[in-house]
Amino acid sequence: MNRFDLNAAIGINHSGAPFFQADWPAPANVKTLITTRNGGVSEGVYRSLNVGAHVGDAPEHVRQNREIVGRQTGVPVVYLNQIHSTVVVNAAEHTGSSPPDADASFDTTGTAACASMTADCLPVLFCNRAGTVVAAAHAGWRGLAGGVLQNTVAAMNVPPVEIMAYLGPAIGPEAFEVGQDVYDAFCTQNPAAGQAFEPIGSGKYLADIYRLARQALQNEGVGMVYGGNRCTVLERDTFFSYRREGRTGRMASIIWLEQQPGALAKTP
């Protein structure tokens, strides 16, 4: 079965669109942009809208791709030097600076867009119901087990019951094969996490990273969770996938506050 037949078999329509938005009931001033692998200038294994500057792509191509994305947001996109940590930074403090070592960011000012770069790891976008704070987190399994989502919720500094989260495109439960170390990292601290692992023999499991994220968020009191229905591995014409391809590009899941004309930026 070729890649186009595979997409058809799993019910995916390939339109070649470079962007889509989070499907959730966020306030009108909360804006999102999720990039795909389409619509950029990169070539070869990075074709074409690669925004990752750390993957070996030509720097000029990455710069142009980020400009394509930036024209959609209208505010500076703060890309992070993601290290699978649980560190959360204030995005407004890092516009125009070197990317900070962090895996999540938040903003209350409307002067910066928070971004999570992924190619199988889970991007999570956050906002509150009042539309006064947004955040984005990069949740690979290490960061997810370590508490990056919990730290992001805390950094938003609003009651968790007021927060909604959107789970962006990540490796799906049919494709995420892991070993005993990953199982232990989650289940030793939270036995209920075992519900997200399907044993397949020889100490291997199929893990549902979406379910693990929902558990973590619900344990923090975040009950409004959306998304979590894509697979970067299977949707090969739409997304980059490190597990499928090895050398490949990165997508970005981006969120920002749209300022009203004449509005003053708020500080945390």
Residue 179 lies in a domain: no
Residue 192 lies in a domain: no
What's the CA dihedral at 55, 57, 61, 66 to 10 degrees? 0
DSSP 115: E
Residue 266 is predicted with a pLDDT of 46
Residue 210 lies in a domain: no
Instruction: Give, for all 268 residues of the chain, the pLDDT tens digit.
Output: 333 333 444 344 445 789 999 999 999 999 999 999 999 999 999 999 999 999 999 999 999 999 999 999 999 999 999 999 999 999 999 998 799 999 999 999 999 999 999 999 999 999 999 999 999 999 999 999 999 999 999 999 999 999 999 999 999 999 999 999 999 999 999 999 999 999 999 999 999 999 999 999 999 999 999 999 999 999 999 999 999 999 999 999 999 999 865 444 444 4
Question: Could you tell me the two tokens for 137?
Answer: 């987190």
Residue 195 lies in a domain: no
Residue 177 lies in a domain: no
Residue 260 is predicted with a pLDDT of 64
Residue 123 lies in a domain: yes
Give the structural domain span for 127: 3-172+222-257
Residue 94's CATH number: 3.60.140.10
Which residues does 21 contact at the CB level (< 8 Å), separation at least 6? 31, 32, 33, 34
Q: 252 — alpha (psi -120 to 50), left (phi > 0) or beta?
A: beta
Residue 13 is predicted with a pLDDT of 44
| Residue 95 buriedness (CB in 10 A; 0-12 / 13-18 / 19+) | middle
In total, the chain counts a number of residues equal to: 268
Helix (H) / strand (E) element for 251: namely strand 251-257
pLDDT tens across 111-128, in order? 999 999 999 999 999 999
Residue 73 lies in a domain: yes
Q: Can you tell me the distance from the alpha carbon of 265 to that of 139, in angstroms, rounded to the nearest whole number?
A: 29
Residue 15 is predicted with a pLDDT of 53
Q: Can you tell me the distance from the alpha carbon of 51 to that of 113, in angstroms, rounded to the nearest whole number?
A: 14
Number of domains in the chain: 1
Q: How far is CA 28 from the centre of its chain?
A: 21
Instruction: Kindly provide the residue ranges of all beta strands, DSSP E only, lying in 10-161, ordered along the sequence.
Output: 19-20, 30-35, 77-78, 88-90, 104-107, 113-118, 122-128, 134-139
Q: Can you tell me the distance from the alpha carbon of 194 to that of 186, in angstroms, rounded to the nearest whole number?
A: 8
pLDDT tens across 60-108, in order? 999 999 999 999 999 999 999 999 999 999 999 999 879 999 999 999 9
Residue 261 is predicted with a pLDDT of 53
Helix (H) / strand (E) element for 62: namely helix 59-73
Residue 184 lies in a domain: no
Query: Strand 177-178 relative to strand 113-118: parallel, antiparallel, unpaired?
Result: unpaired
Q: Can you tell me the distance from the alpha carbon of 106 to that of 120, in angstroms, rounded to the nearest whole number?
A: 22
